[in-house]
């Protein structure tokens, strides 16, 4: 790609993954730029981070709409004012409809138009509280010896889209949940930016539901 990959970052909370991406963009570490930050939570701290970087924001509180379709229609209308290539979910705590996902498909890239990061192996666990799952705190399995930070494309399921990249984070015997989360976030921040840079340089390909990355 001759132009930087333009990102629309969706967040619902503190925005630490967003800030890592924005910092790498600003420092020229990745061939990307954040075009807009979108939040469904009016007081999300990620919006404060966006202001610090001078990035435009869209606030669209889902609680003000009767249906997901109404909320997403407004999102799409607001997003139409911005030029972007890829939606980056960075702590976005809402499922997106199949219609919204399909509308984001990027024909220029030949790729799905939405990516997400998940703090667990998506083959083993989907949904929120991935670190808690890995620590055996969700009643859905024992404490594990490792978790896998996963970056994946979004499809209509919950954390079921094609995996782009994974990174193992060991769980040490003395680890608390905070220990694991702190160490895992460091990996999230590095891995997400790495994948976005690979997409920006046209090195990520998807065929028959499987991702191939040119080295």
For the chain, the maximum distance between any two Cα atoms, rounded to a whole number of angstroms, is 50
118 is catalytic: yes
132's enclosing H/E stretch is: helix 130-134
Determine how many CB atoms are found less than 10 A away from the CB of residue 192.
25
C-alpha 44/C-alpha 49 separation (Å) is 9
> HEC profile for 68-121?
HHHHHHHHHHHHCCCCCCEEEECCCCCCCCHHHHHHCCECCCCECCEEEEECCC
Instruction: Say if CB 57 and CB 46 are below 8 A apart.
Output: no
Which of the following is catalytic: 71, 118, 152, 205? 118
Tell me if residue 214 falls in helix, strand or coil.
Answer: coil
| Active-site amino acid positions | 118
């Amino acid at each position: 790609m001759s132009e930087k990959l333009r990102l629309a970052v969706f967040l619902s909370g503190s925005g630490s993954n967003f800030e890592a991406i924005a910092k790498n963009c600003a420092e020229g570490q990745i061939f990307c730029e954040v075009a807009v930050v979108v939040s469904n939570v009016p007081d999300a701290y990620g919006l404060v981070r966006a202001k610090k970087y001078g990035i435009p924001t869209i606030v669209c509180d889902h609680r003000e709409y009767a249906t997901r379709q109404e909320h997403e229609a407004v999102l799409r209308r607001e997003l139409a004012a911005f030029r972007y290539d890829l939606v980056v979910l960075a702590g976005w705590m809402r499922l997106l409809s199949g219609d919204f996902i399909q509308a984001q498909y990027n024909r220029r890239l030949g790729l799905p138009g939405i990516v997400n990061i998940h703090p667990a192996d998506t083959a083993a666990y989907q949904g929120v509280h991935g670190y808690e799952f890995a620590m055996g705190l969700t009643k859905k399995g024992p404490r594990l010896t490792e978790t896998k930070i996963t970056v994946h494309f979004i499809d209509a399921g919950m954390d079921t889209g094609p995996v782009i990249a994974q990174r193992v984070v060991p769980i040490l015997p003395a680890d608390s949940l905070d220990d694991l989360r702190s160490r895992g976030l460091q990996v999230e921040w590095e891995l997400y930016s790495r994948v976005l840079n690979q997409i920006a340089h046209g090195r990520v390909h998807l065929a028959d539901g499987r991702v191939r990355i040119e080295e």
